[in-house]
Amino acid sequence: MMTAEDTIAAPATGSQPAALGIIRVSGPRAIEIADSVWKGARLQDTPAGTVRLGMLLAADGSPVDQVVATVFRAPHSFTGEDTVELSHHGSRWIRRVLLQRLCEAGARMAEPGEFSRRAFLNGKMDLAQAEGVADLIASSSRASQRMAMNQMRGGFSRSLENLRSQLIELASLLELELDFSEEDVEFADRSRMRSLAEKLHTSIARLHRSFSTGQAIKEGIPIAIVGPTNAGKSSLLNLMLGDRRAIVSDIHGTTRDTIEETMELGDYLFRFIDTAGLRLTDDPIEKIGIERSQEALGKASLVLLITDPTAPTSGITADGLSQAASGLPQAAAEMLQKADRDGKLIPIINKTDVAREEDIEAMRLALSRTYSSQPAEISAKQGDGLDELEQRIINYADAAFDESSTTEGIVVTNRRHAEALRHADSNLQRLLEGMDAGLPADLLAQDLREAIHHLGTVTGAITTPDILHTIFSRFCIGK
């Protein structure tokens, strides 16, 4: 059972052999315990923030490794407790010996997330900041790192606390009315109160909506590569990845399922989804693949529509790429039109290395008559036009996932936070409806209390042991 009186130890670096490894020791006896396993300057006499060089000793007193100890004294450490970080050569055996010696001296192995949990309990950070630490460790792109860093430094928490304090102010006025209800006194100006409630509702709703943006940046912005069979979808995926990830064949209908791969471009992580070729078919297995392609198309943040000007029946007509002429299933054709209207479509003319110029020009004309977005031109086989296409993808992400367009540049990335915001948003919606209906102050106050409660659960102003266990158990050991 975890107690604050325990001194805990765990590796703060990865498990694979490396040049260096770090073991963190935290708790009331951290400095004393570290002193007992090493030979060098006495750590208990070492000033805070000081680095000492010494020798790790085995139980029989023989030297094991040369170790650097960094001493932190409460409350000026990550956990708010006395802490020692022991940097050693990154051998698994040395790490195992060092941990064993520390535990023999009175420490115990830390549980997942226990260092961050202690930092929260000691007031070094709130819950949202602690979860930002985990997100920072897991960040896989500059954009996700930037969001996690903002959360870890308290940007999200400050925004929420500002909203919560305004809700508390409203609630206090209503509570005051309840105290004097028998005297029929109305302390809260209803018009001013409604104006403020609308403002808070708008801010919270915007924060909640930003979750879709945060998830896309955190897990990879989904991009569906769609088009007719043999247009070059798999070839484009292989070209972008620099690897033969997808099977490429002249046989129509080779790809029967979606294939996903991630790739970093610019500041973002993207999830490229290669799909089965879109066409009218009676093959039951291919139909399942096409249904999955349409599902990916509907969920994608950006769609790359690959066209083939060399195909005998390319779907080109005087009026453009009609659904009937192109051979696309009607549902797919309609989704492509919607993606184009939403600014989420990049038409692509492939095979420019082998297509005749007149066929390329005909495809340009057909695409321009069908979609508003300017087509890109590439050769997935030769790599021509790839740099320009990748830059268009980055430009799209810069415009679509601009953090400055959200409330105070805050993007919600955590599902727990999004759920709390959703509940608070519903409470404020009911509050506004109640005010319009002329409900009494006690009923209005109940919705305000619930909204305040839900916002408080995000930062930990309101929490329970079960919530803490659920959150910190997801952290890695050593963090």
Structure confidence by residue, pLDDT tens digits, 67-96: 999 999 999 999 999 999 999 998 999 999
Q: What's the confidence (pLDDT) of residue 75?
A: 93
Higher pLDDT, 474 or 258: 474
Q: Are 269 and 141 in contact (CB under 8 A)?
A: yes
Among 87, 96, 134, 101, smallest CA distance to 115 is for 134
Among 125-134, 176-185, 213-222, 412-421, the least confident range: 176-185
Sheet with 302-307, strands from edge to edge, namely 259-265, 268-274, 221-226, 302-307, 345-349, 376-377
Q: What's the confidence (pLDDT) of residue 235?
A: 87
Amino acid symbol at 370 = T
- Per-residue confidence band for 385, with pLDDT thresholds at 50, 70 and 90: very high
Examine the pLDDT at 164 and tell me if it is beyond 60.
yes
Look up residue 245 and give its DSSP letter.
Answer: -
Q: Please state, in angstroms and as integers, the Cα–Cα distance from residue 365 to each residue in 353, 374, 385, 386, following that order.
A: 19, 10, 19, 21
Examine the pLDDT at 265 and tell me if it is beyond 50.
yes
Q: Write down the mean pLDDT value for the chain.
A: 83
Q: Which two tokens stand for residue 201?
A: 């509702």
Q: Are 303 and 342 in contact (CB under 8 A)?
A: no
Q: Which two tokens stand for residue 459?
A: 């930062």
Amino acid symbol at 349 = I
Q: Which two tokens stand for residue 312?
A: 């005998």
Average pLDDT (356-374) is: 90
Express each pLDDT in 296-353 by its tens digit: 777 789 999 998 898 765 444 444 454 434 556 676 777 888 889 999 999 999 999 9
Examine the pLDDT at 246 and tell me if it is beyond 60.
no
52 - beta bridge partners? 69
Question: Position of tokens 């972008």?
Answer: 240
Q: ∠ at Cα 237 (234, 238), nearest 5°?
A: 85
Task: State the Cα–Cα distance between residues 402 and 22, nearest whole angstrom.
Answer: 37
Average pLDDT (169-190) is: 64
Express each pLDDT in 182-240 by its tens digit: 555 555 567 777 888 899 999 999 999 989 888 888 889 999 888 877 788 888 888 88
Q: What's the confidence (pLDDT) of residue 6?
A: 92
Task: State the Cα–Cα distance between residues 246 and 260, nearest whole angstrom.
Answer: 10
Task: State the Cα–Cα distance between residues 339 and 319, nearest whole angstrom.
Answer: 20
Examine the pLDDT at 110 and tell me if it is beyond 80.
yes
Q: Are 360 and 309 in contact (CB under 8 A)?
A: yes
**Residues in Cβ contact with 80 at an 8 Å cutoff, skipping those fewer than 6 apart:** 74, 118, 119, 122, 123, 124
Q: Which two tokens stand for residue 102?
A: 């520390």
DSSP assignment of 260-313 equals: EEEEEETTEEEEEEE-PPP-----HHHHHHHHHHHHHHHH-SEEEEEE-TTSSS
**Residues in Cβ contact with 42 at an 8 Å cutoff, skipping those fewer than 6 apart:** 35
Examine the pLDDT at 428 and tell me if it is beyond 90.
yes
**CA 142 distance to own-chain centroid:** 11
Look up residue 320 and give its DSSP letter.
Answer: B
Task: State the Cα–Cα distance between residues 217 and 301, nearest whole angstrom.
Answer: 11
Examine the pLDDT at 457 and tell me if it is beyond 60.
yes
Instruction: State the burial class of residue 36 (Cβ atoms within 10 Å of its Cβ: 0-12, 13-18, 19+).
Output: middle
Q: Please state, in angstroms and as integers, the Cα–Cα distance from residue 113 to each residue in 31, 58, 64, 79, 277, following that order.
A: 21, 29, 29, 11, 45
> pTM of the predicted model, to two decimals?
0.75
- Per-residue confidence band for 169, with pLDDT thresholds at 50, 70 and 90: confident
Higher pLDDT, 297 or 140: 140
Q: What's the confidence (pLDDT) of residue 245?
A: 53
Task: State the Cα–Cα distance between residues 116 and 469, nearest whole angstrom.
Answer: 12
